[in-house]
């Protein structure tokens, strides 16, 4: 998206940051709490904090007001999980410190029921900050859709979050707990190696074993099905080769010990669709686990977020459920005629849905700021007016 004009942001824009291990997503809301702009950058945090530093520079380049005292910053994260850090506590502290040093005093970290924390209070409250981005998204969705199952399918992971009577009713809050309940599935539509999807797959009328090698990823599958939008396909391919359909066919063929020229492009697309079905089946099985714990949500609509939300729409069709796109919900918070031209319409809705946690954390912070007033002590002074 084209960056909005600075004057359209008003006096006190809120920047919502979702700092992941592979991407940083940032959204901007205006003084009235409406979405102005959304963007994301590849940020391989496991390779070093300098990648986060470079991404902050890119944010400042896109939105110069972000480095001024006029800006407020609301942060959520999952990047503390990367193996750069000894443990998650160290990860939260390191990310919080890096952001605080560059963003200034008006930065607050989303901590769920614990509220908003400063960089200093993140040290003791790191458990509430760690990997809470799904909760930020769900809490905001709950203000718009009282009964739903939010499914956020990103490049790497899938969140399945139950919402009932306007409350988030997830059974677990940590990644470890959510993996046990089915509320977290470590599969996405870009970075997941195909050998992590299935051990056997049908090809040529027979089931064959899959090679346990990082020859291809889900990005190859969804390039061949035409469902992966190039602007969300930010990471190198498994072999660092081109991201063309031909190169994707070659990589996918290697997963079963074959070469792309052995059959037609149409057959390889059909093979990709079989992989798609296997991934959809795995996500669907976890959706059933979550729904079984909340039978009142058996007919509730699915709210789709993330760059892989086309799979959420497919699940909704299969289960005869309603489907609501997160982008459509966020569109109701647009700034209207005063918003920047590059931040309106279908493009903004698509970016907002893809970067849902960054949008949600910004909207939660902006709304609380508006309700509490400029001088309120609702975020340990992080959001106080100048």
Q: Is the pLDDT of residue 338 over 50?
A: no
Q: Which pLDDT score is estimated for 348?
A: 81
CA atoms of 152 and 161, how far apart (whole Å): 9
DSSP secondary structure of 52-76: HHHHHHHHHHH-GGGGSTT-EEEEE
Q: Which CATH architecture fits 6-136+328-372?
A: 2-Layer Sandwich (3.30)
Q: Do domains 6-136+328-372 and 194-280 have the same CATH topology?
A: yes
Measure the CA angle with vertex 318, ends 313 and 320; round to 5°: 90
Sign of CA dihedral 170, 324, 75, 47: positive
pLDDT, tens digit, 9 for 90 and up, residues 172-210: 999 999 999 999 999 999 999 999 999 999 999 999 999
DSSP symbol at 336: G
Locate the domains of the chain by residue range: 6-136+328-372, 194-280
pTM of the model: 0.90
Assigned CATH for 194-280: 3.30.420.190
β pairing state of 14-19 and 23-29: antiparallel
Lowest mean pLDDT segment, chosen from 109-123, 240-254, 296-310, 333-347: 333-347
> CA–CA separation, 286 vs 25, rounded Å?
26
- CA atoms of 222 and 65, how far apart (whole Å): 37
CA 192 and chain centroid, separation: 15
């Amino acid at each position: 998206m084209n960056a909005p004009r600075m004057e359209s942001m008003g006096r006190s824009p809120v920047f919502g940051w979702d700092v992941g291990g592979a991407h940083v997503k940032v959204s901007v809301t205006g003084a009235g709490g409406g979405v102005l702009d959304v963007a994301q950058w590849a940020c391989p945090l496991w390779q070093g904090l300098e990648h986060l530093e470079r991404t902050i520079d890119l944010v400042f380049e896109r939105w110069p007001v972000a480095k001024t005292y006029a800006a407020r910053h609301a942060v959520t994260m999952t990047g503390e999980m990367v193996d750069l850090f000894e443990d998650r506590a160290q990860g939260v502290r390191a990310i919080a410190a890096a952001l605080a040093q560059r963003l200034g005093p008006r930065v607050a970290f989303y901590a769920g029921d614990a509220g908003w924390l400063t960089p200093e209070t993140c040290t003791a409250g790191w458990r509430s900050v760690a990997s809470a981005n799904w909760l930020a998204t769900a809490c905001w969705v709950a203000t718009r859709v009282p009964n739903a199952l939010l499914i956020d399918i990103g490049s790497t992971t899938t969140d399945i979050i139950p919402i009932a009577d306007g409350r988030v009713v997830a059974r677990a809050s940590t990644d470890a707990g959510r993996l046990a309940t089915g509320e977290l599935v470590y599969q996405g539509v870009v970075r997941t190696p195909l050998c992590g999807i299935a051990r056997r797959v049908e090809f040529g009328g027979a089931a064959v074993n899959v090679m346990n090698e990082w020859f291809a990823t889900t990005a190859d599958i969804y390039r061949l099905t035409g469902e992966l939008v190039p602007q969300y396909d930010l990471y190198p391919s498994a072999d660092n080769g081109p991201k063309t359909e031909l190169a994707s066919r070659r990589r996918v063929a290697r997963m079963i010990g074959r070469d792309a020229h052995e059959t037609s492009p149409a057959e390889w697309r059909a093979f990709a669709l079989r992989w798609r079905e296997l991934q959809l089946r795995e996500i669907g099985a976890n959706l059933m686990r979550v729904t079984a714990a909340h039978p009142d949500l058996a007919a509730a609509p699915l709210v789709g977020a993330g760059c892989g939300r086309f799979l959420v729409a497919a699940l909704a069709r299969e289960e005869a459920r309603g489907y609501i796109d997160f982008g459509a919900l966020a569109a109701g918070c647009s700034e209207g005629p005063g918003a920047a031209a590059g931040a309106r319409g279908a493009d903004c809705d698509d970016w907002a849905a893809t970067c849902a946690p960054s949008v949600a954390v910004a909207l939660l912070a902006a709304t609380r700021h508006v309700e509490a007033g400029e001088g309120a002590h609702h975020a340990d002074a992080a959001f106080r007016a100048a």
